[in-house]
């Protein structure tokens, strides 16, 4: 007879999105922590020249000229690699992706970047002509190009709907030079709205962006990373570090946008919370042990602790467990690894998710509703223990565990 613990661990549940590409409409995902797009953090440009698009849409960015190519810098931010531009670098997205914003109702762009320069810079631009005046959607820094329709500040979002429309922009926020920050822009062409968000907060919203309707039914002719999209000259070059770029060919709803922002926040900004124990875990089919860390805050009043399970096999589902007792129990049979929890173990039934292409699972905890049968809420002074169980595709094992995470709440 299978033990009650093992019966408990294999209860079914509903899957939710595990990474940005699981949201519909993701057409570009350039991840500086995985520039070769193999699903494992680290590495370099594929074949030395190609920043691989992880969206699955083939929107790779390429630079064959060494003097114009940015560099991958390992461990630069939060222990992850980034792509560094020196003010004379850029990359062009391959032509197979030029139809990404053809006849669409909207778009959402995200960028995580740090700059050391106050000159006008273009981070990512999608243009349907040979120069930047024909940009359909783009994000920029310190940019005074085109017609300003709302806001003032260092960050910018700009573009146009039809090939014949004028180039318009909005601005907002203050850049801390040398600091990594994230921002997002939503282009609602159908409603004529353009919005700019900095570090998750709405900075500027304009309701007079172009005339409402679909974008032109024409393809882009150039999509550029790290410089102006003008094919006739290199200007507006970016100077700094680019951690991640994401593009969706629709307007994400508020909850969807916040999901991506939370993913980026946990990945690039959050300081580790809690202490690892019961590790390292037993290596899974990637050849590496999966690991668990906490991001956000250990203060109960903040209620913003996120669990981050990393180095999991890709496209395998998993879920998070918790208890108020630690343990070390080697698992028998088809399960591999060690259970690091003892006593009464609670499972987050609503948090079963796929690890996606990135081999990562995230869970934003609600400390006021710890999972049954444990108790209703976490209290200051209490220590809780967490672990992630996940499926594996090792021939000899069907599942595995991360190490454990101990958090003493304040």
> Does residue 316 share a domain with residue 242?
no
Count of H helices and E strands in the chain?
2, 30
Counting every residue written for the chain, the total comes to 410
Q: Is the dihedral of CA 274, 279, 282, 285 positive or negative?
A: positive
> Does residue 183 share a domain with residue 86?
yes
144-153 — which CB contacts under 8 Å span 24+ positions?
Answer: 144/120, 145/120, 145/169, 145/236, 149/194, 149/206, 149/208, 149/209, 150/194, 150/204, 150/205, 150/206, 150/208, 151/196, 151/203, 151/204, 151/206, 153/203, 153/204
Rounded Cα distance between 154 and 162, Å, is 26
Q: Does a structural domain hold residue 341?
A: yes
Task: Answer whether 222's CB lies under 8 Å from 229's CB.
Answer: yes
pLDDT at 4: 27
Q: Does a structural domain hold residue 394?
A: yes
Q: Which domain holds residue 353?
A: 4-17+272-408
Q: Does a structural domain hold residue 260?
A: no
CB hemisphere CA count around 169 (13 angstroms): 26
CA 185 to chain centre: 15
> Does residue 335 share a domain with residue 193?
no
pLDDT at 371: 82
Q: Give the number of other Cβ atoms within 10 Å of residue 379's Cβ.
A: 12
Q: Does a structural domain hold residue 243?
A: yes
Q: Does a structural domain hold residue 256?
A: no
> Does residue 381 share a domain with residue 233?
no
- 42 vs 7, 19, 49, 79, 266, CA distance in Å? 37, 17, 15, 10, 18
> Does residue 221 share a domain with residue 132?
yes
Q: Does a structural domain hold residue 265?
A: no
> Does residue 110 share a domain with residue 75?
yes
In degrees, to the nearest 5, what angle opens at C-alpha 395 toward C-alphas 393 and 396? 110
Q: Does a structural domain hold residue 259?
A: no
For residue 195, the SS3 value is strand
Rounded Cα distance between 391 and 54, Å, is 22
Domain stop point among 251, 284, 299: 251
CATH number of the domain where residue 294 is located: 2.60.40.10
Domain stop point among 251, 284, 302: 251
> Does residue 245 share a domain with residue 314?
no
> Does residue 183 share a domain with residue 56?
yes
Structure tokens at 309: 């399970």
> Does residue 237 share a domain with residue 294?
no
Number of domains in the chain: 2
> Does residue 176 share a domain with residue 199?
yes
Rounded Cα distance between 314 and 393, Å, is 9
pLDDT at 336: 79
Following DSSP, what letter does each residue of 73-123 receive, concatenated? Answer: EEEEETTEEEEEEESS--EEE-GGGTTTTTT-SEEEEEEEEEES--S-EEE
> Does residue 170 share a domain with residue 123?
yes
Q: Does a structural domain hold residue 267?
A: no
pLDDT at 370: 85
Counting as low any pLDDT under 70, the low residues of the chain are 1-18, 130-133, 270-271, 332-335, 350-353, 356-358, 372-375, 394-397
Name the pTM for this structure: 0.69
CA proximity to 247, closest of 95, 51, 110, 53:
110
> Does residue 236 share a domain with residue 156?
yes
CB hemisphere CA count around 222 (13 angstroms): 22
Q: Which residue has the tokens 């590790």?
A: 279
pLDDT at 357: 60
Following DSSP, what letter does each residue of 28-71 receive, concatenated? Answer: EEEETTSTT-SSSS----BTTTEE-BTTSS---EE---GGG--E
CA 71 to chain centre: 20
């Amino acid at each position: 007879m299978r033990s009650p613990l093992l019966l408990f661990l294999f209860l079914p549940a509903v899957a939710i999105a595990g990474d940005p590409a699981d949201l519909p409409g993701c057409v570009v995902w350039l991840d500086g922590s995985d520039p070769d797009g193999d699903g494992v953090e680290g590495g370099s440009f594929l074949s030395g020249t190609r920043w691989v698009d992880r969206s699955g849409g083939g929107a790779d960015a390429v630079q064959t000229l060494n003097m114009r190519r940015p560099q991958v810098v390992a461990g630069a931010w939060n222990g992850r690699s980034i792509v560094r531009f020196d003010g004379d670098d850029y990359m062009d997205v391959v032509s197979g992706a030029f139809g990404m914003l053809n006849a669409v109702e909207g778009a959402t762009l995200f960028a995580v970047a740090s700059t050391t320069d106050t000159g006008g810079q273009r981070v990512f631009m999608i243009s349907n002509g040979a120069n930047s005046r024909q940009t359909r959607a783009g994000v920029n820094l310190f940019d005074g190009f085109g017609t300003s329709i709302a806001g003032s500040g260092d960050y910018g979002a700009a573009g146009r709907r039809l090939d014949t429309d004028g180039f318009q922009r909005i601005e907002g926020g203050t850049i801390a030079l040398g600091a990594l920050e994230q921002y997002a822009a939503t282009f609602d062409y159908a409603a004529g709205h353009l919005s700019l968000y900095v570090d998750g907060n709405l900075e500027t919203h304009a309701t007079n962006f172009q005339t409402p309707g679909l974008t032109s039914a024409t393809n882009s002719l150039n999509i550029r990373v790290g410089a102006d999209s003008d094919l006739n000259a290199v200007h507006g070059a970016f100077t700094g570090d680019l951690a991640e770029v994401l593009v969706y060919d629709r307007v994400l709803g508020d909850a969807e946008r916040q999901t991506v922002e939370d993913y980026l926040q946990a990945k690039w900004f959050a300081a580790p919370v809690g202490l690892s124990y019961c590790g390292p875990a037993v290596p899974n089919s990637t050849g590496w042990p999966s690991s668990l860390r906490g991001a956000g805050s250990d203060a109960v009043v903040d209620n913003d602790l996120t669990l981050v399970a990393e180095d999991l096999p890709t496209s395998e589902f998993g879920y998070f467990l918790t208890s108020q007792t630690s343990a070390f129990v080697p698992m028998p049979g088809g399960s591999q690894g060690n259970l690091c929890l003892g006593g009464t173990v609670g499972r987050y039934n609503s948090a079963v998710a796929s690890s996606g292409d990135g081999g990562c699972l995230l869970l934003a905890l609600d400390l006021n509703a710890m999972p049954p049968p444990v108790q209703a809420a976490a209290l200051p002074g209490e220590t809780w223990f967490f672990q992630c169980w996940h499926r594996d595709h090792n021939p000899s094992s069907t599942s595995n565990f991360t190490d454990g995470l101990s958090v003493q709440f304040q």
